[in-house]
Amino acid sequence: MKFQVLSIVGHAPHPLTGELLSPADRFDEVLDAGVAAERLGFDAYAIGERHAGAFLSSSPTVLLAALAARTSRIRLLTGVTVVAILDPVRVAEDYATLDQLSRGRIELVIGKGAEAGHFDLFGLDEERQWDLQKEKYELLRRLWREEGVDWAGEFRPALKNVTTVPRPYAGPPRVWHGSATSLNSPELAARHGDPLFTANAVQPRAAYVRLIDHYRERFAAYGHDPARAHVAAGSGGLLIADTHERAVSRYKELYEARVRQNFKPRLEGKAGYNTPFRTIEDAIADGPQLIGSPQQIIDKILGYHSAYRHDLQSVTVDGFGLSRGEQIETLERFAEEIAPVVRREAPSTLWE
């Protein structure tokens, strides 16, 4: 198993104290966590992209560039790049630049995004989101693999003899497809022989198994080697304590206050937006959240692996209002007490 730390750079008041960091301090916190992740041996660090809601992740390329300058080994991913609302030419240029700056450490996770408001913001029809995603991704593939591209499509002006610069550092960066609720992303990933990144953040496990099983079936049907059908999984947040009882005692009020804060009444009943695991006890027992003792978290990740057969596990430490010091402490405990066991029990050849 490989391990990644993800931040979507949330910027909401602390659910208990109401404290709100300045944007500059919040960015420092994200970068400090990325530097710590490299020091602690994590394999990747990812930054999300949001253009609506209580987030500061509208410019992930800028944050990843800052992180590239402060690190030397760790892979830098997105989580996700909302390609459906972006110009593929600009995406090709920006991320190839990052790929050069980081000397080949950039990988994209593409998706339609979890905040529907960004389609209106960019003057796009949300009803066409999957058409936008497919066309723009397929153009991006060509721009990174070909020179002198001639292209015509529906959602941007035609291209004639276009070669984007800079070119990627050492061939096209790997592109994962973020998958949360729809079969569209697993289908597009399978068609092109790309890896799949399942959100594994809100819904019960069976919902994600359905998407992954579809992906693996279609991956083989398109003629790709099943051994190359890599899968990654997110998680709904990481909170570690010495025992189950201490986890509940320490984090119950914090977890449940954040769930209430994040609840979106207008999206009630729509899969992938509001967690059904409203209490910390429910989250520990059945949710995708990694909360509890180190052994509980090990068992849960290995339980994911038995269902998903995934290669990469993503964790998030800044989603519940932990202080900067608590976030680093959590990463340290994960790296020392959890990751070595899971790596041994669920080995992966990803990135080797």
Helices (H) and strands (E) in the chain, counts: 12, 12
Sign (positive/negative) of CA torsion 349, 111, 104, 33? negative
Q: Is the pLDDT of residue 293 over 80?
A: yes
Q: In the numeric block, which tokens belong to residue 251? A: 């984090």
- Rounded CA separation 231/304 (Å): 11
Reported as a pLDDT band with limits 50, 70 and 90, residue 315 is very high
Taking all residues of the chain, what is their mean pLDDT, rounded to a whole number? 96
What is the predicted pLDDT for the residue at 273?
83
pTM of full prediction above 0.75: yes
131 pLDDT higher than 80: yes
Quick one: which of 292, 258, 299 has its CA closest to 278? 258
How is 42-81 classified by DSSP, letter by letter? -SEEEE---SSSSB--S-HHHHHHHHHHH-SSSEEEES-B
Q: What is the pLDDT of residues 218-242, one digit of tens each?
A: 999 999 999 999 999 999 999 999 9
**How large is the average pLDDT for residues 285-307?**
97
- 49 backbone dihedrals φ, ψ, rounded to 5°: -140, 120
How far is C-alpha 207 from the geometric centre of its chain's CA atoms? 17
DSSP state of 336: I
In the chain, where the domains are located: 2-345
Q: How confident is the model at residue 113 (pLDDT cuts 50, 70, 90)?
A: confident
| Token pair for 29 | 């916190």
pLDDT, residue 116, reads 67
N-term to C-term CA, the chain: 11
What pLDDT, on the 0 to 100 scale, is given for residue 52?
Answer: 86
pLDDT in tens, 195-215: 999 999 999 999 999 999 999
Q: What is the pLDDT of residues 241-277, one digit of tens each?
A: 999 999 999 999 999 999 999 888 877 878 888 899 9
Per-residue pLDDT, 169: 98
Q: Is the pLDDT of residue 14 over 90?
A: yes
What percent of the chain has a predicted confidence (pLDDT) above 70? 100
User: Mean pLDDT over residues 149-173, rounded?
Assistant: 98
pLDDT value of position 272: 80
**Third-level CATH fold of 2-345:** TIM Barrel (3.20.20)
The pLDDT value given to residue 115: 73
